[in-house]
A and B are shown apart, each in its own frame.
Chain A
Amino acid sequence: MALVNLDQVHKYYGDLHVLKGIDLKINKGEVVSVIGRSGSGKSTLLRCMNGLEQYQEGGIVVDGKEVTTEDIQVRQLAMSVGMIFQNFNLFPHMTVGENIMLAPTIVLKKPKYEAERIARAMLEKVGLGEKFDSYPEKLSGGQQQRVAIARALAMNPKVLLCDEITSALDPELVGEVLKVLEQLAKEGMTLILVTHEMNFARDVGNRVVFMHQGKVWEEGDSNTLLSNPQTDELKQFIGAVL
């Protein structure tokens, strides 16, 4: 069974039909880019995958666990799925080290020295070893986002969900975050990213999912799909972003 399975998922916000029967299977180690116009349901799709949003029909199974918004299931799922947000969402009252150590300590119940070892290792991995004792507000956006990645990695997830994680960054800081993602992809991490970085999607990603009006409009191998789009909608979209 694939790592992430969506089976005919429908999601409504009140009367608004946002996801209209999404079928998607994502295997371990895949790097999947979700692209599409604003409002096409990309964020909603991601947020349904880890129980931040409730879906009304169909089924989602991730790492063998059924996804619901029930508190207990969301917490179970957090052991398998990490999420990175556009605006970082670091905890501003804690140092970088404390940000990363918190969940391993209180959720995974690791002893403090072990949590600290993990935190330092993850910080090294994102190239911020020396920032352990800094407060988030002292860091640049790119550094904050890398800390957020380290914080998610410290939970040892099987898949990372990234929702436009470079969109809030100054252009010159985008590269350092993408580099970290590329490294993770090389190491075999499963990544599902909503992104506008078409080069990244083509060069690092394996697969592209084009969302349109709440449906998976077109999907396939990233190189093929981006250089040879089949539908008018995707052609238009690629024309608009390039």
Chain B
Amino acid sequence: MIEFSNYDILRNLLFATQWTILLSLAAFIGGSSVALTLTALRLTRNKVVHSLIRGYVELFQGTPLLMQMFLCFFGLSMLGYEISAWGAAILSLTFFTSAFLVEIWRGCIDTLPKGQWEASRCLGMSFLQILRYIILPQAIRVAVAPTVGFSVQVIKGTALASVIGFVELTKVGTMLNNATFEPFKVFTLVAIIYFLLCYPLSLYSKVLEKKFNGSR
């Protein structure tokens, strides 16, 4: 058996943290793009589109992320689509992230007074012009704080990718534990690293929220 010094443990964990960050970023970018599209579609008055998006949101908010990952990974393989653990993790986290962001962002848009739409319409602006010049600039300011806050959930969600074999922080933690039999030390370190990733984001989200509420 190989000996692991504390330094080795930390080094391995920090290396794995890169993958956690990368996966979080990929999920966040993927999720935001999908959510942005869905949010725009939601604003149209099409009833069918509304129910489809509603179904999407209910589906991915109403089932455990782990099951979604299993389905993406094992399910797609069984259907004959070869998918890597990395691909399955990104795909499922994108679904998960977008399902929550679309709700958060819709909420932000709904907080804007109806009068903003009406005044814009009375000035002859088109739907897209109203979105671009009136609604989005205001909604984005409201949305930043809860969106940053939610990114914490995405980071924590990436830990589940360890179960389908993607090597990130949690997975490496498990591997190191199997090699060193020092679960307390290893998982404390893992937890500290997650905390250091997440806490600044939560804090920043709170600051943003204060700043926004103060400026109204």
Contact = CB atoms under 8 A, between A and B. Distances in A.
Interface of A: 50-52, 71, 74-76, 78-79, 81-83, 85, 87, 89-93, 102-103, 106-108, 148, 151-152, 155
Contacts of A89: 113, 115-116, 118-119
Given A89-B116, A91-B116, A106-B133, A52 B121 contact: yes
A87 B137 contact: no
Nearest to B113: A89
A97 to B, nearest CB: 14
A107 B125 CA distance: 6
Nearest to B133: A102
A107 B133 CA distance: 12
Given A50-B122, A83-B119, A102-B133, 17 more contacts: A51-B121, A52-B121, A74-B121, A75-B124, A79-B124, A83-B122, A85-B119, A87-B113, A87-B115, A91-B119, A91-B138, A92-B138, A102-B125, A106-B129, A106-B133, A107-B129, A152-B122
Interface band, chain B:
10 to 19
Contacts of B115: 85, 87, 89
A74 B123 CA distance: 9
B58 to A, nearest CB: 27
B117 to A, nearest CB: 9
B16 interface: no
Contacts of A71: 126-127
7 closest A-B pairs by beta carbon, nearest first, are: A78-B124, A89-B119, A103-B123, A89-B115, A107-B124, A83-B122, A75-B124
Contacts of B118: 52, 83, 85, 89
B134 interface: yes
Contact of A78 (B122, B127, B133, B134): B122
A90 B118 CA distance: 11
B137 A78 contact: no
14 contacts: A52-B122, A75-B126, A78-B122, A79-B124, A85-B115, A85-B118, A87-B115, A89-B116, A89-B118, A89-B119, A93-B138, A106-B125, A107-B125, A152-B123
B138 A82 contact: no
Contacts of A78: 121-124
B63 to A, nearest CB: 36
Contacts of A151: 123
A67 to B, nearest CB: 13
B138 to A, nearest CB: 5
